[in-house]
Structure formats: structure tokens, C-alpha cells
Amino acid sequence: METTLIILKPDAVQRGLMGRIIGRFEDKGLQIVGCKLMTISQDLAATHYKDHHGKPFYDGLVRFMTSAPVLVLAVRGIGAIAICRSMMGATFGSKADAGTIRGDFGVSNSFNLIHGSDSPEAAERELGLFFASGEVLEYERAIGQWIYDYSGGAPE
């Protein structure tokens, strides 16, 4: 099982899309194992987006991400990183396919609703930035056997 960080950005929160977006992940069979509504500090935004520092869009990105509350999620499942990124769609809403989160809810090339970790290493680093020890939970779901085939002894 992989766990990834998902951030519902200020535009998703302000537009009241949190429940609809979370529902998509749950409908897919992914497990929400951490969740918090928060306002990202300047320091946290700078740390999170350090790889973009110095790029033309960096200042606007930090300003946007600290402008209003976000919802941060820890999402778990087999292949969760790739699945979540596929569900998110192309970075720019105007170019995202219908059926994806950005394709269905976004048209802006600046406000793109959602962030998802792009690799296991990024997920581990990002989850550590947004969740303290003990805030990402381990728990069994009664429906697990209906999401993954356990007939071979392990989920597939």
C-alpha cells in the first residue's frame, strides 16, 4: 500500500468542492487515512515548494497557497500515487480531460484545485511536512475485501 499527500487548494475549498473531490477518491476505493483543514504558513509553503524557488511563478504560487484554507489529505491504496495523479488530470484545467478533477471542475491555468505527490519519495517528504507523527492512521476497513482481491493471500 502507498500513502500519498493530496492538497485541496484554496480554490477548491472556497468553491465548496471538498466533499465532491474526497468522494471521488473514496468511490475509487482509496482510503483516507489523514485529513486536516489548515492555512499554510509562508514558511511551510516555502519549504513545500522549495524546488520551484526562483521560477517566475513561485511568488504567485506561494501567495495563492497561503491566501485561504486548504484541506490536506493522506490517501492510501495500492498504486495510490499514480491513481490519484491520473484522477487529478493535466496541470491546467483548460487542458485537463473530462472525467478528471481538473477537467470537470477547472478552467483556469493558475488555479488548478489540487496537488498530489508525484513519487514515493515526494509523498514521504510531503506527508512529513503536513502531518505530525500519529496523524496518519492505520486502520482496517470492512470493505477492503471488496476493493482488492485477497484470494492469493495479499491484496492485488
Establish whether 115 is a catalytic residue: yes
**CA nearest neighbour of 17 among 89, 70, 54, 60:** 70
- Given 48, 52, 53, 115, the catalytic residue: 115
- In angstroms, the CA 56 to CA 38 distance is 26
- In angstroms, the CA 1 to CA 33 distance is 12
**C-alpha cell, 88:** 487529478
Residue 73: half-sphere exposure toward Cβ, Cα within 13 Å: 24
Work out the number of other CB atoms within 10 angstroms of the CB of residue 1: 12
C-alpha R_g of the chain: 16
Catalytic residues: 115
